[in-house]
Amino acid sequence: MKNYNKCKVADEARIELHDKLALTGAEVSINTLLAGTSVPFVHSHKQNEEIYAIVGGEGKAVMDGQSVELKAGDWLRISPSAKRQFFASDEKSLSYICIQVKENSLENYTMTDAVV
């Protein structure tokens, strides 16, 4: 029995890895907004916090009416209840990885969960 899953992803606007990797504790998506575009809706979550890794371009996130500028190398964590929307800048696309996990569910991390 294999203890891992591997997949290759195409160059698409949004790719969800939940089914591709048989994820059981997190949701991960790879996203690209073209220059001048945005996520077409404002949303929040019931239980999941989101962690965003900005991997290319620039843009902004608007959370509960507060705007935060984003560029490659930035990381952002958003609480479940915050209403959020993402926008690419007018000149550049915005590429990011979004990781969703249940808020307050982390019981251990690398140093306390690893078995050597």
pLDDT tier, 10 (very low <50, low <70, confident <90, very high otherwise): confident
Domains by residue range for the chain, with CATH = 14-104 (2.60.120.10)
Please say if the pLDDT value at position 20 is more than 80: yes
pTM of the model: 0.89
Percent of the chain with pLDDT over 70: 99
Interval 50-64: pLDDT, tens: 999 999 999 999 999
Provide CB contacts within 8 A for 6, sequence distance 6+. Answer: 21
Of 115, 56, 57, 54, the C-alpha closest to 91 is: 57
| Residue 86 pLDDT class (50, 70, 90 cuts) | very high
Identity of the residue numbered 116:
V
The residue among 59, 61, 52 whose CA lies nearest residue 29 is 52
Mean per-residue pLDDT of the chain: 94
For residue 1, the model assigns a pLDDT of 58
